[in-house]
Every structure is written in structure tokens, then in C-alpha cells.
Chain A
């Protein structure tokens, strides 16, 4: 066997992402249908205008979502949990920056029963005070544990630094913030944002007409739209200014490092190049940062960079935990790698490697209905469609070393980057 005769790499000609079918489930409520998969399982995700962006005060969105599992007119918190568990389903209700979601995952055979429970939650949650008090007390304890972790301290400070302490994306949580909540405030938010505003639905997995019909029934008559929608008071955004902050945590064995800045959104013409640049720098295992700081120096278990987009802002972030004694050396190397991107064009071989890697990664991202639904949502939320995805596929094929270098020069200047370090 001649092992030097290695298999030729085949390039992906196409990365087929189909548009989801969309239907009007009930008047005002759009549903996207993402069919596929081998197993008889279905996920129904419903997105409400009930995230941090819409909340009247800190934590209202998070706690409202949490309280959706704590009881309805007909079902106590315990009965609700019993029912969901009885059908082997899972129910999650979470608030995010821009929206809140209620997701049920169920075996297809129990979809009708599980959808009845979901309807009950949207239609008739009652927010019992007793349950809220238990949850708040447990969350306070959890917060005390989190605040012992350098990684938590660094991350929360980073968002505060780049978005501002009063911004919905930036605020930090203190025990006192939990004390400002009441069932009245949460219930009001529930009425305003869950029941008086149209959600968007994603149905993914294995399902047919019968399931769609059942889901349709469950959403019928749930939403009463106010003629005057609640005015959302947008926070006064101070212009971004880079800053450096060091937090001290007694006895920390590792330093948590966060470096980044707000960055252009999905619609900006430079965004594809930035995405590519991010992968090259820290977006995959073979990235510049991993190769240097983990694989060559052994300073860390992991280092990565990412770009995240939300409806009202996007950010770039480098994130790692390193040994205390090598914290300064690691910081130097991070900035060396950024400088190298600015000063030298990426060589052909590495450029081709990253192109191939991204193509494979995109194929993985659309493998199966429970991944495709997220990718499509990330397009539709921003008024985009699969043409945008294909345009990125195309850009990855044709991008040049010069474009990447120029992009690094434009966006990765040290003085524009915010640094947060939590250490001993």
C-alpha cells in the first residue's frame, strides 16, 4: 500500500439549502415548514416579541419566559411538568436579546397532546407568586456561583463594555435586580408581548398535513392585537468607545480573556469577508489563534473568535481562558496574530484550506431539519433568504488574500478593540 498516494480532495459543487415552505397558520401568524430527518420526531418553535429588547425593565423578559412553565388556569406547575414529561416531550421557554421562544420537542405520535399543552401556556398562564419566589431565590443562588467564575465575570463585563450598562444587550445582573420584579410586571409583559403580538413559528422534523392542522387549531384565536402597539423605548446608544478593563478574582488559576468590538451587520457589503477573516483567525480548530496559542505554545485548552448578529447590533469576540502565568504572553500572541493578518496576505495554501473548511462547515450546518431551521431563521429574521446563503458560498469560493488583508486593516485595529481580563 503506497500511503504517499493520498486521496484527492473533491470540492463541493453545491451546498443545497432550500427555502422553507411558509404558510399563514392563522391570520397574522406565519409558520415555516422544514421537513426531513429519519426519526419520527418534531420540533415546534414559536418566537414572540418578548426578548430583552422589548422588556420594560431588567430581567422581565427572562423571568416571564421562565414563569411560563409555572402554571396555567387549568394546570398547576407540577401538573404541567407531569403532562409534558408523560409524553416524553421537552418544553423550553427562554428569552433572548431580540425575542423569546417557546419550543416543544416531541415524538410525532404525541404531537396533538403536546400542542394542547403549548396552547394552554400561551393562552392561560397565571404566574403564581409562590413559584416566582422559589425561582428567584434559586436564581440568586445560581448567580452567586456564577460570580465565582472568571469566565462569567469577563463575559458579562465585555457585553457591558461594548454595549453599555443600560443597553438590553449589555446589562449585567445583580441580586438587587431580582428583588425589583413582581408577578404583576411579568403578567403585564406576558399579556402585551405574548398575547397581543403575532409570533412566528418554525416546524421542523417529520410531520404531515394532520400535524399542521393540529398546530393550526392550537393557535386559533390566541392573539388579540392592540390597535396601538406598545411603544418600545430604545436605549440611548452612546457611541462605542474601546476600553480595557482588568477584573480581579482571588485565587483564580486561569485568566479569562475577552477581546472584541461591535461590528457591521449581515447586510453590510464587507460582512462576508469579515466572516471569512474570523474563521481564519479563530473560527475553527486549525485557526491562527488555536495553532499558535494552543497547539504551539500550550497556553490554553481552547481559544476562539466569533461574530454574532442580533437585530440591533453585531459583535466580534475573541474568547479564551489561559494560565495565570502566561496571561500577558497570550495577550501578546493574540495581537501578534491580528497584526499578521493586517501585515501579510494569507498564503494560497492556507486560503484554500479555509475555503474548503468553510464549504464543509456550511454543509454540516444544513444537515437535517433541526439544523436547517436555525440557519433559515438566521436569514429570515434579517429579511434575507437562501440567496444570501448561496452568495456567501460563492464569496468563499472567490475571495482573495488582498480582500482579507484589507478587511483586517479596516476592522481589527487594536485601538478599536475592547479588552476584558478577569484574573488573580
Chain B
């Protein structure tokens, strides 16, 4: 059971405080309700580039990192399709330093052309390091664009291409900040060796006078229902053939999300999981294969990716995956497997929540999606699942007309 107190400042900033007296550290997590889904198709990668610019100095702070590190703190941030999330880990005695710094960059950035130019280069190198200079690195771009024809999930958070990154100008930065970086679109969580009353006062002190922004009437394009399988193939200079499949699954808050996520665990969580045992160990068609879901706020994907053994034909490998998926539709799980996956999920949540930072991130995120109490109840959403719910979900989502399939061939030269 994780205890927390929830507050809302007059300017709309939401605050969650979680006390843990077993640590001398404090985690400060600020989630902004903006992600790559808020970009337009001709200007992609900006939410993430913007995350980098948040470290480039604000009105009263020349250098965010230096000031935080001088107080013994460290920090980082990540951007997803849905959110941009910043966090600081700092000795609890210096909590106020983190609040000063975070509030200053929420108040206003020191927009500089030079900082923008440098971070454009840094992000381009990040793009190359993770996507272009890697075997199979381009696949994520390809699969998303096959899966989404209208919705902005059709491009990855890093952006569609290097050109988009290069095209951004200072006016884009200013407009984006004004639109998305304001207290009423942020959720701050403070966890660790802190006292709730003191934290509330400090947050009011540093964030209370930041003016709210205009409410955002978010109107994202709806992805039309997929009616037939999308199939593509391509060739690249990689050592092994690979198979990629993506199935549309419901949004994070949809009642069927948990069943869809559960299916990915049946398929691929742990060494006893079905894909590993059947396709890697027994049939030896793949050298590795995994399945996971993108836990998106709008409808996401259940994703399967595997590398084929040299002598195995792509069609044989794909058929074997289908056989596994079809088995989920044709037979109920036995009780043992159901309980096993529930234990896996329970344990995963327990270990993850043993860290204060994860608790802080989770609290902010659950508050964003509308139910902060999920921090304590989400395990039950999984443990209540029945074999029928899983079978129904498999029948509904793991179908050919709901699939995007990519055959990725190693070129012969």
C-alpha cells in the first residue's frame, strides 16, 4: 500500500506527495501533458527536442544541471508519444533547490539560438546512435508508419527524419513552450524522506505564482479501424532475417487493455513463456523472439519481433507465430498458466515500486490518466482477469485483419 496526499494549487498545478522515511533522498517528478502525439506530421520529433531545451537555462538559472548537481542532485527526462517527464533525485535536505530549478523553467526559458542549434545536433547524434547506426534500427519507423495512417503514433518520438529536427527554429520553441509548459498541464510528485506539510508550502512558494496557460482542446485524429492485414517486405544490410508483427490494442484506460497486456506476458514474459519455449527451444525457428505492448493513452500496439535462424523460411516462421496466436483463441489457458502470469505481474510491480523514483513517476502518470489510486489497485486489474477474458481478447485483437506484418530480409551481398 502506497500512501500519498493529493493537492491542487490555484494555478491548476497538481501535487502528489508520498512520504518514505526509510530514505534520505527525495525524488521530484514533473510530468507535462505533452508528447509526440501533439506534433504535426510535417514537424515531428519536436516534443523530444524540446525536452533537451529544458536544460538550456531558464529566466533566473543559467544552467539547470550545474545548479542541481551543486546541491548533490542528479536528473534526467524522457519523452514518449504521450508525455514528457522530468525527474530529479536529490538529498532530501536540498529538496528546495530542485523546486527552485523546476519552477524557474516552468516559468520561462532563456530561449537562445545557440542552445537550440547545439541540441539539434545532439538529438541528431541520438537519432543516428539509436536508429540509423544500428542493424534493424530503422524498423520502428517502418512499423509505426504501417500501423497508423492518421494518428500521430505513426511516427516515433525521435521524429520521422533528421531533416525535421534540423528545420526547427526559435519561434517553434517559444510557441510550444507557451502552449504546453504551464502549471495546469503539469503534475508534480515528490517522494522520499520528506514531510507533506513542508513540501506543500515549498511547492506553493516556488510554483504558486506561475500563471496558468490556456486550456488545450486536444483534438487528435482518430485512427480508422483497420479492416485488412498490412503486409510489407524490405531488404537491408543486416546479418539475419527478421519478422515483425503489430496488432492494434485498446487504449491504456480501456477495460480490455489489461487482457491485451496479459497476452503479451503469456507470449513472452519469462523463459517459460510460449514464444520462447515453442519457437526458440522446441521448433528452433527463431534465435530470439519477444512480445510487448505500447502502453499508450490512445489505442496502442501489441508488438512481436523475432530474428530467424538462417535456414528457416520467412513463411514458415510467420506461420509458427500464427499457430501460437491461434492457440490463445482456440483454447482456454489452464489455471496454472493464469496464476503464473499473475504472479509475474505482481512481482514486477513490487520490485519496480521498491524504488522511490518509480513510485513518483507512477503517481504522476496515474494521476494524468485519471486515477491516481491505480498505484495501489492496478495489480488487482490483472489478478481479476479470467481465462475467458484472455481468450476473448485474443479472438478480438490477434486477427489477420488487425495485423501489420513486416518481412525484413538480410541482403545477400
- A residues with CB within 8 A of B: 1, 3-4, 6-7, 9-10, 12, 16, 36-41, 69, 77-78, 81-82, 84-90, 105-107, 110, 131, 134, 137-138, 141-142, 144-145, 147-150, 205, 251-254, 284-286, 294-301, 321-323, 352-353, 356-357, 359-361, 363-364, 367-368, 370
Contact = CB atoms under 8 A, between A and B. Distances in A.
A90 to B, nearest CB: 8
B340 A360 contact: no
A298 B126 CA distance: 10
B73 interface: yes
A356 B71 CA distance: 6
A89 B70 contact: no
Given A7-B100, A81-B272, A285-B65, A86 B336 contact: yes
B174 interface: no
B122 to A, nearest CB: 5
B71 to A, nearest CB: 5
Interface string B261-303: 0000000011111000100110010011000000000000000
B272 A353 contact: no
Contacts of B134: 149
Contact of B354 (A6, A38, A364): A38
A286 B351 contact: no
Contacts of A361: 72, 74
Interface centre among B59, B89, B120, B123 (most CB of A within 10 A): B89
A81 B354 contact: no
A16 B24 CA distance: 10
B93 interface: yes
Given A40-B350, A360-B91, A285 B69 contact: yes
A286 B69 contact: yes
Contact of A360 (B63, B71, B136, B344): B71
Given A6-B100, A301-B126, A323-B125, 17 more contacts: A3-B107, A9-B70, A10-B91, A10-B93, A12-B72, A81-B270, A81-B272, A85-B343, A86-B340, A131-B281, A142-B287, A145-B238, A149-B134, A254-B128, A353-B66, A357-B70, A368-B23
Contacts of A321: 125, 129, 133
B281 A134 contact: yes
Nearest to A37: B354
Contact of A367 (B23, B69, B121, B310): B23
Contact of B351 (A41, A149, A297): A41
Contacts of A82: 272, 340
Given A84-B272, A252-B133, A353-B69, A138 B280 contact: yes
Interface string B107-149: 1000000000111111111101100111110000000000000
A3 B281 contact: no
A286 B71 CA distance: 13
B228 interface: no
Contacts of B240: 141, 144-145
B25 interface: yes
Contacts of B51: none
B22 interface: yes
A252 B134 CA distance: 9
Interface of B: 20, 22-25, 59-60, 63, 65-66, 69-75, 89-91, 93-94, 96-97, 99-100, 104, 107, 117-126, 128-129, 132-136, 205-206, 208-209, 237-240, 269-273, 277, 280-281, 284, 287-288, 307, 309-310, 336, 339-340, 343-348, 350-351, 353-356
A253 B132 contact: yes
A138 B287 contact: yes
Contacts of A364: 25, 74, 89
Contact of B287 (A89, A141, A254): A141
21 contacts: A3-B59, A3-B100, A7-B99, A9-B71, A78-B277, A84-B270, A85-B340, A85-B344, A86-B336, A90-B347, A134-B284, A144-B240, A147-B239, A149-B135, A254-B129, A286-B66, A323-B121, A353-B69, A357-B69, A357-B74, A360-B69
Contact of B94 (A10, A38, A84, A88): A10
B118 A148 contact: no
Mostly helix, strand, loop or mixed at chain A's interface?
A: mixed
A405 B128 CA distance: 36
Nearest to B93: A10
Given A86-B336, A145-B307, A285-B69, A298 B74 contact: no
B346 A107 contact: yes
A132 to B, nearest CB: 12
B346 to A, nearest CB: 6
A85 B70 contact: no
Contacts of A142: 287-288
B72 A107 contact: no
A9 B71 CA distance: 6
A106 B347 CA distance: 7
B70 A353 contact: yes
Contacts of A39: 350-351, 353-354
A90 B344 CA distance: 9
Given A78-B272, A138-B280, A321-B125, A357 B133 contact: no
B27 to A, nearest CB: 10
B284 A253 contact: no
A4 B60 contact: yes
Contacts of B23: 367-368
Contacts of A85: 269-273, 340, 343-344
Contacts of A141: 239-240, 287, 307, 309-310
Q: Which 5 A-B pairs have the closest CB atoms?
A: A360-B72, A298-B121, A88-B347, A88-B343, A81-B271
A244 B288 CA distance: 36
Contact of A69 (B124, B271, B336): B271
Contact of B118 (A88, A134, A253, A295): A295
Contact of A298 (B72, B75, B125): B125
B340 A370 contact: no
